[in-house]
A and B are shown apart, each in its own frame.
Chain A
């Protein structure tokens, strides 16, 4: 009996999480594809088959909204890595442990404050009457307040990047910190210059963290509704806000259709990712197996 449990241990450990994901994630999302074809009723929808929702999707401007969301996500990923990686590297490799630890708590702080509140705070910093514009005008760098600071793509990207920066710093820091010091020493002993050591040892070993970080940022940017709504202004729509607005008029099949297209795109990206990168790398690094 004990032997049997021990042999089955990995499966038993996996079971609860797999069950939760199947029942509350895989099945509802799979069903979303079906709901997109159901006919709409006045307040809800009924089982059946119609292409009405998809016709509506492709005949209105929603395709452009979709592509724009993809672009915003990619830009956010790149900017977050540019901002976050050097910091994670610095904290993980070049700072004394206790200083690094204190600094990481500083990075947690904006995190435990609701993103809605953090996003709102950008509004009064960036607005026409906001502190940044007042300062710029006061110093005389610009003659009149800059309009593009708020309710623009700039402000949305700024909101998305700052919201997801801790998502970058933590996984990258974790992966950099777990690199064995002796590997770096060995590289130096073999005559590699610091930059070479970074390029040939540190960077490749931190890639699992970078991948994790990119995933985190991409999804935050893609599925976010509050940030584009608060910083993009009324005309600014992303996939997230277009689903919300469709739900506002109780068009559930159309919401499901837009949602299905989003899910399908993510599945394609996921397939490409799995094809090009070995997910096993995430755990086989450093000792394990």
Chain B
């Protein structure tokens, strides 16, 4: 009797486990759809010959060809990519150092709170503060002022990601390495770095994407230079949505997905 009961319980839990997983899968698919749905429609729409927001019967690449004749749009894209890479290169080491320092401090909460502060402040307030500050000190707005705004924006995120990945690292392992004769550097490279590497990669990717998407802060410190988001928004405000906006969106989606697949491939092959 007892054995039957146990078996029944086991079967029940196995069945419900599978059902639970299925429910989770459905939920996840719904959320993914919500995220990707708008993006999935942009590509067919960008190929509509009359530039209408409809699925075209006879797709065309005219609008894409037109993109390459628009110098201002291409330069905005170039600026965004440059800024993204620069932000990534500045923010990731800065965040790593700050996280490593925080972990070794006694009053961690204080530093965590301080480094997270930029995240708590509305983007527009940070942008306004910087813009007026630069103006008062006679610093003209350029790519450099945008870089400062982007580093401020991405630093807390990169910091918290690195810190989270460090949190699960058992520092006793490092002490064991010291005991075995490793110096600070070797212990870091051989023991800790492999553990926190996903966190560092995550921080770098986050920094790039946050910079690439940033609008609220950028808008006020950009001066005469346009980034992709400011270019697209001012164009929509002045001219309404025109077909080239769909084309630039389609192009970003294609390029971004390709980049992402390459990165994903590199990461997966390096792990095996």
Q: Name A residues whose Cβ lies closer than 8 Å to a Cβ of B.
A: 6, 9-14, 16-18, 20-21, 24-29, 31-32, 35, 44, 83-84, 86-87, 89-91, 94, 98, 101-103, 105-118, 120-125, 127, 129-131, 162, 165-166, 170-171, 174-175, 178, 194, 208-209, 212, 215-216, 218-219, 222-226, 229-230, 239-240, 243-244, 247, 252, 255-256, 259, 262-263, 266-267, 269-270, 274, 278-280, 282-289
Chain A residues within 8 Å of B257, by CB: 109
Check B229–A114 contact: CB distance below 8 A.
Answer: yes
Contact A109 B39, CB 8 Å, known A115-B229, A259-B128:
yes
Q: What is the minimal beta-carbon distance from A119 to any residue of chain B, in angstroms? A: 9
A240 to B233 Cα, complex, angstroms: 15
Q: What is the minimal beta-carbon distance from B15 to any residue of chain A, in angstroms? A: 13
Given contacts A24-B148, A229-B233, 8 further A-B contacts (CB under 8 A): A11-B101, A25-B152, A108-B205, A111-B213, A165-B31, A174-B199, A270-B117, A279-B112
Check A283–B122 contact: CB distance below 8 A.
Answer: no
Q: What is the minimal beta-carbon distance from A173 to any residue of chain B, in angstroms? A: 10
A143 to B170 Cα, complex, angstroms: 62
Q: What is the minimal beta-carbon distance from B116 to any residue of chain A, in angstroms? A: 7
Contact A162 B35, CB 8 Å, known A116-B232, A226-B233, A274-B109:
yes
Q: Is B73 an interface residue (CB 8 A)?
A: no
Q: Is B176 an interface residue (CB 8 A)?
A: no
With CB as the reference atom, state the residue of chain B lying closest to A10: B104
Of listed B102, B167, B229, residue having the most chain A CB within 10 A? B167
Chain B residues within 8 Å of A171, by CB: 160-161, 164
Q: Name B residues whose Cβ lies closer than 8 Å to a Cβ of A.
A: 13, 17, 20-21, 24-25, 27-28, 31-32, 34-39, 41-42, 45, 53, 80, 94-95, 97-98, 100-105, 108-126, 128-130, 132-133, 135, 148, 151-152, 155, 157, 159-161, 163-172, 184, 199, 202, 205-206, 208-209, 212-213, 215-216, 219-220, 228-229, 232-233, 236, 241, 245, 248-249, 252-253, 256-257, 259-261, 263-264, 267-268
Which residue of B45, B128, B212 contacts A124 across the interface (Cβ within 8 Å)? B45
Check A17–B155 contact: CB distance below 8 A.
Answer: yes
Check A109–B104 contact: CB distance below 8 A.
Answer: no
Chain B residues within 8 Å of A10, by CB: 100-102, 104-105
Check A174–B165 contact: CB distance below 8 A.
Answer: yes
Which residue of B125, B165, B166 contacts A32 across the interface (Cβ within 8 Å)? B125
Q: What is the minimal beta-carbon distance from B171 to any residue of chain A, in angstroms? A: 6
Give the interface SS of chain B, mostly helix, strand, loop or mixed: helix
How many contacting A-B pairs (Cβ < 8 A)? 328
What are some 6 contacts across the A-B interface (CB < 8 A)? A105-B264, A109-B39, A110-B39, A131-B41, A165-B31, A262-B124
Q: What is the minimal beta-carbon distance from A90 to any residue of chain B, in angstroms? A: 4
Which residue of B111, B165, B229 contacts A226 across the interface (Cβ within 8 Å)? B229
Check B264–A31 contact: CB distance below 8 A.
Answer: no
Which residue of A114, A120, A122, A178 contacts B167 across the interface (Cβ within 8 Å)? A178
Q: What is the minimal beta-carbon distance from A207 to any residue of chain B, in angstroms? A: 12
Q: What is the minimal beta-carbon distance from A139 to any residue of chain B, in angstroms? A: 17
Chain A residues within 8 Å of B94, by CB: 16-17, 20
Which residue of A28, A174, A240 contacts B164 across the interface (Cβ within 8 Å)? A174
Check B31–A27 contact: CB distance below 8 A.
Answer: no
Check B119–A115 contact: CB distance below 8 A.
Answer: no
Contact A120 B129, CB 8 Å, known A216-B119, A222-B122:
no
Check B126–A175 contact: CB distance below 8 A.
Answer: no
Chain A residues within 8 Å of B20, by CB: 194
